[in-house]
Structure 1
Amino acid sequence: MSEKNGPSVWQGFKAFLMRGNVVDLAVAVVIGAAFTNIVNSVVKGIINPLVGAVGTQNLDTYSSCLSASCKGTHGIQLMWGSVLGATLSFVITGAVVYFLMVLPMSRYLARMESRRKAREGTKEIVEVTELEVLKDIRDLLVAQRASGPGER
């Protein structure tokens, strides 16, 4: 590809990889993979035994048969237990991410923002434009003339 048509594909790819969003996304994927292991262990160690107190520990065994008989690989089975297990994993993942990462981080950022506003409040700087200063000078001169030369 010639330089006349714009940047090369390689340069465009390099620019894409160097964007902050791509790095943030890569970090999120790595953290998500780590949380997946935590969530899977929570499901296997806590949720499945709780469900097992009512039924079975393995949610994959819950299914319904749509045909006359479902023996082995014959018949039409709806594996709704697998869907239920995946849904529970998703909800637990969302809860773990929200309560262990999002909520504390948003509280921290809110606290830092309130501290920043408090610091800025004590250092409040009034930005005055040149036009406003000239108007104030004009008003003072008009008030001075109106009061007379000897009445200062």
Structure 2
Amino acid sequence: MKGFKEFLARGNVIDLAVAVIIGAAFTAIVNALVEGIFNPLIAAIFNADDIATATWQIGSISFGIGSVIAAIINFLLIAAVVYFVIVLPINKMNEAAYVRKHGHKPEDEEVPPSDNELLVEIRDLLAAQKGEIK
């Protein structure tokens, strides 16, 4: 029971609860956007009354692609918002914190040579010592 109390006290549960609530609210916004704007546009492109009835006819075969397209659009919208609203700002904040702590950007650090580069350098130094400079 003590471990459970510590888990609750850390704040992870509250953060998770907030994320779930915000996610549910955001899902409602994205669903309204897809249902209100994108689905009617896709249905109009395929001359369908409803996106679920939008089909692509090839010969005698009819593909019901309207709902698939709507799901793809829904996924892309959610992914774009998550990236631009959550991931990108957090990356910028992390980079700013790194600059404040270290005085430079992470990519400004010198990258150590790879194992192969070190071995080539050692080989060249040994060859130079023996007078076998290529």
Interval of TM-score (by shorter of Structure 1 and Structure 2): 0.5 to 0.7
Partner residue, 2:96: 111
Identity %: 47
Structure 2 stretches lacking a partner, 5+ long: 57-62, 105-134
Partner residue, 1:91: 76
Q: Mark the CA change 1:114 to 1:90 in structure 2 (over 3 Å): closer, same or farther.
A: same
Partner residue, 1:51: 42
| Structure with the greater alpha carbon radius of gyration | 1
Q: Mark the CA change 1:79 to 1:21 in structure 2 (over 3 Å): closer, same or farther.
A: farther
2:17 aligned with 1:26: yes
2:27 aligned with 1:36: yes
Q: Mark the CA change 1:108 to 1:79 in structure 2 (over 3 Å): closer, same or farther.
A: same
1:21-46 residue CA offsets vs partner (Å, 9 max, x unmatched): 32222121111112112212221343
Q: Displacement, 1:85?
A: 2.1
Partner residue, 2:52: 60
Partner residue, 1:126: none
2:49 aligned with 1:82: no
User: TM-score scaled to structure 2, two decimals?
Assistant: 0.54
Aligned residues of 2:54 and 2:66 also touching (Cα < 8 A): yes
Q: Displacement, 1:48?
A: 2.2
Aligned residues of 1:39 and 1:93 also touching (Cα < 8 A): yes
Aligned residues of 2:43 and 2:66 also touching (Cα < 8 A): no
Aligned length: 98
User: TM-score scaled to structure 1, two decimals?
Assistant: 0.49
In the aligned structure 1, how far is the partner of 2:7 from the partner of 2:64? 42
TM-align CA RMSD: 3.2
